[in-house]
Structure formats: C-alpha cells, structure tokens
Amino acid sequence: MKRKKKIKKKVEQAQAPRTSVYLNGKLIGFYENGAQLLAELKARRRAGILSPQLNFYYNQKTDDLFINADSGRARRPYIVVENGQSRLTPALLEQLRQGEIGWESLVKLGVIEYLDAEEEESAYIAVKEEELTPEHTHLEIDPVSIFGVTVSILPFPEYNSSPRITMACAMAKQSLGTYAVNFNMRTDSRAHVLYYPQQPLVQTKPYALLGFAERAAGQNFVVAIASSYGYNIGDAVVMNRSAIDRGLGRSVFYKTHETEERRYPGGQKDKFEIPPPTTTGYREERAYRYLGEDGIISPECEVEAKDVLVGKTSPPRFLEEITVFGVTEEKKRENSLVLKSGEDGIVDSVMITDSLAGTKLVKVRVRSIKIPEIGDKFASRHGQKGVIGLLRPQEDMPFNKDGICPDLIINPHAIPSRMTVGHLLEMLGGKAACYSGKFVDGTAFTGDKEEDLRKIMKEYGLDEVGEEVLYDPFSGEAIKAKIFMGVIYYQRLHHLVSNKMHVRSRGPVQLLTHQPTEGRSREGGLRFGEMERDCLIGYGAAMLIRERLLEESDKTVELVCEKCGSIAVFDHVKNKQYCPLCDSTQLHYVEMSYAFKLLLDEIKSLGIFPRLLLRDKA
C-alpha cells in the first residue's frame, strides 16, 4: 500500500491523472484512458488474441484497472451480448446441433465468455433472451446455471425458503443410492446401496444432463399429509409396513474389515492361522468356527459379534521367558480380526492380496440388509426430513376410492413455518406424472408451472389441487377432511438406528479411573456432567447424586491407617493388613470414589502428603 501510494503520488505530481493498471493485484503501470484500455483488452480476448482465462475489471471511482490471471478465481460462463443482440446466433446454434462446432470453439469465437467475481461487477446480465436491451452485456446460458450442481437437481427450488434449500442439499449428500456402479468390486470401509432405486418423477434438466438417473438415490413414495394418531408428531413419519415388506427403502450395508501379516523388527512375523489353544489370549473355540485351514473365513458365513473373521497370531511382545527346562518356548499372542458387537451380517466377499509393504493382506466384506425400521431417517428434496415413528401395515393405512394408500404420512405442521411450497408442488407434480405417464419438469425458473400441473390433474378427472377423500382403515368411513396425497421422491439417509443405538447397564470401566468407558464403540456409559450434577444438587436429591457419581461409577473400598492417614494395604500372601508407612494395624475400611484415591496418589506425586482423618459418621 505504502509503496503504491508513493509511486502514485510521484506520478500525480509530475503528470495528469492516469489509470493505474494492476496485474494479479500488483501495480504494473499507468495508462491515459482506462475505459479505452478495458474495451481494447476485452475485444482482444473475444477475438482470441488474449487468453480467455484473463479477466478485466475497471473501477471508475478509483481509476484502477485490474487484470486477473491468477489461479483460484471462481469463474462462470455467459453468452456475450453486443448491442442487445446475443452473439449465439441461430446459425451458430444450428451448427452446434449438427455437431459441427463445440463448446471450445464457442469460447474461441468469443460467443461464450467466462467472468470472475470481479469482472461480473461490471457486467449487466440478462436472465432470459427476451429481456435483452442494448445496455445488457451478457446473457445467462440458462437460469439454472445460477445454481451449483447440488441445487440444480432439486425440483422447484424457487418455491422454497433458502435455508431449506441449503438443508436439502446437505441431506441429498447423505442419501442412499448407487454410489458407484462397480460397488460390488469395491472394498470401501463402509458403503450403503439402495435395493430398488428409482429416478424421480419430477426431474430437472441438469438431473438428466448429469446422468443421475442411472445411479438414482431415492424412490417415489405415495405421501399423504395428515396427522396419524400422534405417531408423526414433531417430524416423525408413519410408514406403510407392507410397502417396506415389498422392498421400499431397503438397502444393504457393506463393511470391510482388513488385517495384514505384519513384520516385526528381528525377523518375526504375524501368521494367519487358526490360533492353537496354547496362544495367550485364546478365545473360546466357538469364535473360530468359520475359519478355514488358512485361518480365513469363507463367504456366506453368517457372522455375529465376537466371531473371528481372520485368525492371526503375533509373536510375543517381550522376549520369551526361560522355562524350567531351560528351553525357550514360543508363546504366541492371539491377534485375530474380530467382529465387534452390532456388526453382525453375512460375509460377502474375501479378498487376499499384498499390502504396500509387501505383506499378506486380507479384506473381508460383511454385508447386512437394512430394512427400514422405527428410527430410520428419510428426507424429501426440500429439506423436509423425518424419522419413522411407526410402521403400520397396509390394512391399517387410510386409502382412497381406488384403494391406493400412502407409503408415508407426514405431519401437516411440517409445512407452514418452513414454507417449503416446492414440497407440495412436487407431490402434485409426481401425482400428475403418475397419471399422464410423462416426467414433470421441475427445473428452477423454467420448469412446469402449477397451472400446467393442475391442467394435467383436471385432464384425468382428478381434484386439481391433489386433495382426496380418504377412508378410515378401522371403520371404513370416509375421513371428514379431504387429504392432500401425492407422489414425491424420498431419500433414505444413512443415519440408521441399527448403526447408532446404544444402551448400557453394566460394562467395561477405564483402567486409570475405574469409571465407565465412553462411547458406543466401547460399550460406554452416558456422561453425567457438571451441569447435570448441579441440577440434582439444586433439586436436593443427595442420594441420587451419590448413586450416579459413586455407586454406579467408581466406588471402591480402601483400607486407611488411622494413625498416619494414608492408604494401607492388605497382604494376601501373609493374609495381613498393615500400613506400609507406619506399620500400624489400626486400620479401617473407608468407602470412597476411586477418582479420589487417584487424586490422593497424584497429590503425593506432587510431594505433598495428604492424610485422611477418620471420624465416625454422626
């Protein structure tokens, strides 16, 4: 800045004001007429003399001309407009259609131009060709191109509130589908594949362009918007159990486990085998039941928690002890690949290769079928997500005069405050598509309009807004209110309860603190934190705090020396209690938390001697 000012000052003193010219943000020189230079530069770029990757921006206020050629600028293509006329002429379009020219040549011809954020400031861009005036400088290739890839796939986004669009995009990335067509040959550490993917009935132009339909990530559900005996309150949904039994929303979950024969310094090596019962840490025999002679499981075995997938023995961690006979006995360590709890399934495939280090590597892929159950998450493409609150058989679902009953019932409260009108439109569009047999176009700004959809509905003699008389499944009587029912694309999201649910009544504790472990994978407890503790104190529930923080956690009973107040010991060999510090035998059992005992030890390590003064409880 300082240098720039200095240079600028000098120049201004000597000469008349001139435009400062910057290349990639660095001042490179001056020119008399910035506007003229800009026009010349742009003309040359369009003529193909300058690289199409250059961008220019002239700031009249500060009289600065910026030329940008550096990497990392976000750029977007537009059709160049001159004197209110698009440079993409019908003749060119025809050539395009014939395949005589392509995108590259359009860029070369200066018909298509890429603008970066800075140059865009000086552009006046028309969204539609009809809007063009002589002032316009560019024309949008298509209004959808305003959006990125993810949004352009959503139907009717212009009818939704913007936060819902953001959420819809986030959720679309979590949807199950065909994530790769060669999924069967891959060994991703975890992968979901949807059973019967369908392409949506309401599509967008980019959807087709991207070829998304070939690897779809969802299914078309018949959805009714109604309350359902309280089982769809608060973003819960009621689903049709019969539809699920027919395969709706079903997916496979693949999990790949791997292990290798590691080499250790000293020439020792792991070995894949069925560990002999003499190995240290030998599991129960049942765990090894599926292993072949090579110690590796075979495909299509139904495995459950604690089953061994690959038997492996490792050399001992420390040098062998010398036995009585003076012969070193090889004591191997059990180091098998074991299935953790909650990962049950069927062995799908086994792969044996070499690792990068040249050792033997085994990958075992376990598959399990995930049928939608209570707690699984589903979402439409409008930021409307929900978890299953109830599975209800078809005979208990409301039905219309044709006997059609919904696959999914969402709650009406999900709509007004979120203003996802696009959701309603897609339902209507999907229904219209079902009757007409033609896909509905939901492309942003240019797709089918509500009137078009209503027209189709009318054509087929349906209620034009999509409302229907539904019949109560229990009494057979018509439900008094008309219910909005339509067909809409729903995605199953990869948040499955079966991969998340977790309970603990007793379980492992940490070595250091004797407190329960943390986390689902370690079968841990749920943290009873400081604020939770405060609440119990505030409530005066002293006994409950004690139970949570002591009895259910790290309660221990320690011997304490009455004389010196230190922790005493019980010598099991001599069957004698004594205080290691003062040899006193006036000892008492004291109940305390193990964490406190640990605290005492740590204080001792500080060089402070904490004493416990004993007194009888009043």
Partner 1 sequence: MVSKKGFIEVGEAVGIIAAQSIGEPGTQMTMRTFHYAGVAEQVPTGLPRLIELVDARKEPKKPIMDVFLKDEYASTYEKAKEVAKEIECTTLEKVALVEEDFEEKKIVITLEPSELEAEGVTIEDVKKKVKSASNFHVDINENVITIKPSSASLRSIRRLTNKLRQLHLKGIDKIKRAVVVKGKDGKFFVRTAGSNLAALLKHPKVDGKRLYTNDVQEIAKVLGIEAARQALVNEIKQVLDMQNLNVDIRHCRLLADAMTMDGEIKSIGRHGLSGEKAGVLARAAFEETVKHLINAAVHGEEDRLIGVTENIIVGQTVPVGTGLVKLRMKL
Catalytic residues, which ones? 235
Q: Which of 550, 569, 581, 582 binds partner 1 (CB under 8 A)?
A: 550
190-194 sheet: strands from edge to edge: 190-194, 251-260, 360-370, 345-354, 302-303
Position 533 contacts partner 1 (CB under 8 A): yes
Position 603 contacts partner 1 (CB under 8 A): yes
Sign, CA dihedral 66-72-73-79, equals positive
Half-sphere exposure of 333 (CA within 13 A, CB side): 11
Per CB under 8 A, which region of 71-79, 103-111, 364-372, 591-599 contacts partner 1? 591-599
Write out the H or E segment, with its range, that includes residue 593: strand 587-593
* C-alpha distances out from residue 468 to 185, 410, 425, 428, 434, Å: 47, 16, 16, 12, 15
Footprint (CB under 8 A) of partner 1, residues 555-574: 555
Position 540 contacts partner 1 (CB under 8 A): yes
Q: Which of 546, 563, 578, 598 binds partner 1 (CB under 8 A)?
A: 546
Position 606 contacts partner 1 (CB under 8 A): yes
CA distance linking residue 426 with residue 431, whole number of Å: 8
Per CB under 8 A, which region of 94-102, 221-229, 350-358, 543-551 contacts partner 1? 543-551
572-581: long-range contacts at Cβ-Cβ below 8 A with a sequence spacing of 24 or more?
A: none
State the minimum distance, in angstroms, from the CB of residue 515 to partner 1: 12
Position 541 contacts partner 1 (CB under 8 A): yes
Structure token pair of residue 398: 């409301």
Q: Which of 549, 564, 569, 582 binds partner 1 (CB under 8 A)?
A: 549
Whichever of 534 and 601 has its CB closer to partner 1, that residue is 534
State the minimum distance, in angstroms, from the CB of residue 593 to partner 1: 3
Position 512 contacts partner 1 (CB under 8 A): no
Q: Which of 285, 538, 574, 575 binds partner 1 (CB under 8 A)?
A: 538
Of 330, 337, 346, 152, give the one whose Cα is nearest residue 257. Answer: 337
Whichever of 356 and 613 has its CB closer to partner 1, that residue is 613
Sign, CA dihedral 101-103-107-112, equals positive
For 485, phi then psi, to 5°, come to: -130, 135
Which amino acid is residue 462, in one-letter code? Answer: L
Q: Name residue 567's beta-bridge partners.
A: 560
CA distance linking residue 290 with residue 346, whole number of Å: 12
- 3-state class (DSSP) for residue 19: strand
State the minimum distance, in angstroms, from the CB of residue 565 to partner 1: 11
Whichever of 143 and 565 has its CB closer to partner 1, that residue is 565
Whichever of 509 and 550 has its CB closer to partner 1, that residue is 550
Per CB under 8 A, which region of 164-172, 237-245, 402-410, 527-535 contacts partner 1? 527-535
Position 545 contacts partner 1 (CB under 8 A): yes
Q: Are strands 138-139 and 125-126 parallel, antiparallel or unpaired?
A: parallel
Position 209 contacts partner 1 (CB under 8 A): no
Whichever of 114 and 596 has its CB closer to partner 1, that residue is 596
State the minimum distance, in angstroms, from the CB of residue 64 to partner 1: 37
Per CB under 8 A, which region of 133-141, 156-164, 437-445, 544-552 contacts partner 1? 544-552
CA distance linking residue 187 with residue 256, whole number of Å: 6
Cβ distance 517 to 436 under 8 Å? Answer: no
Structure token pair of residue 469: 């008389």
Whichever of 146 and 614 has its CB closer to partner 1, that residue is 614
What's the DSSP call for residue 518? Answer: B
- Which residue bears the tokens 């229990």? 474
Position 527 contacts partner 1 (CB under 8 A): no
Position 543 contacts partner 1 (CB under 8 A): yes
Per CB under 8 A, which region of 176-184, 374-382, 421-429, 530-538 contacts partner 1? 530-538
Position 445 contacts partner 1 (CB under 8 A): no
**Residue 117: Cβ within 10 Å count:** 13
User: Residues 579, 580, 583, CA angle at the centre, nearest 5°?
Assistant: 55
Per CB under 8 A, which region of 229-237, 463-471, 579-587, 599-607 contacts partner 1? 599-607
Whichever of 327 and 531 has its CB closer to partner 1, that residue is 531
Per CB under 8 A, which region of 232-240, 260-268, 272-280, 604-612 contacts partner 1? 604-612
State the minimum distance, in angstroms, from the CB of residue 570 to partner 1: 20
**Residue 360: Cβ within 10 Å count:** 18
Position 528 contacts partner 1 (CB under 8 A): no
Per CB under 8 A, which region of 162-170, 452-460, 477-485, 545-553 contacts partner 1? 545-553
- 3-state class (DSSP) for residue 346: strand
Cβ distance 367 to 252 under 8 Å? Answer: yes
Report the phi/psi class of residue 196: left, alpha or beta, with left for phi > 0 and alpha for psi in -120 to 50: beta
CA quadruple 57, 60, 63, 67: dihedral, nearest 10: 0
Position 99 contacts partner 1 (CB under 8 A): no
Q: Which of 41, 191, 243, 592 binds partner 1 (CB under 8 A)?
A: 592
State the minimum distance, in angstroms, from the CB of residue 315 to partner 1: 43
* Three-class secondary structure assignment of 138-172: EECCCHHHHCCHHHHCCCCHHHCCHHHHHHHHHHH
State the minimum distance, in angstroms, from the CB of residue 531 to partner 1: 9
Structure token pair of residue 429: 């569009």
Whichever of 208 and 550 has its CB closer to partner 1, that residue is 550
State the minimum distance, in angstroms, from the CB of residue 525 to partner 1: 17
Of 375, 403, 402, give the one whose Cα is nearest residue 391. Answer: 375
Tell me the number of residues near partner 1 by CB under 8 A. 27
Q: Which of 395, 532, 534, 571 binds partner 1 (CB under 8 A)?
A: 534
Of 452, 460, 467, give the one whose Cα is nearest residue 435. Answer: 460
Whichever of 265 and 540 has its CB closer to partner 1, that residue is 540
Whichever of 468 and 554 has its CB closer to partner 1, that residue is 554
Whichever of 376 and 558 has its CB closer to partner 1, that residue is 558
For 221, phi then psi, to 5°, come to: -105, 145
Whichever of 383 and 516 has its CB closer to partner 1, that residue is 516
* C-alpha distances out from residue 149 to 382, 423, 589, Å: 15, 19, 69
The residues of the shown chain that bind partner 1, judged by CB under 8 A, are: 533-535, 537-543, 545-546, 549-550, 555, 591-593, 595-596, 599, 603, 606, 608-609, 613, 618
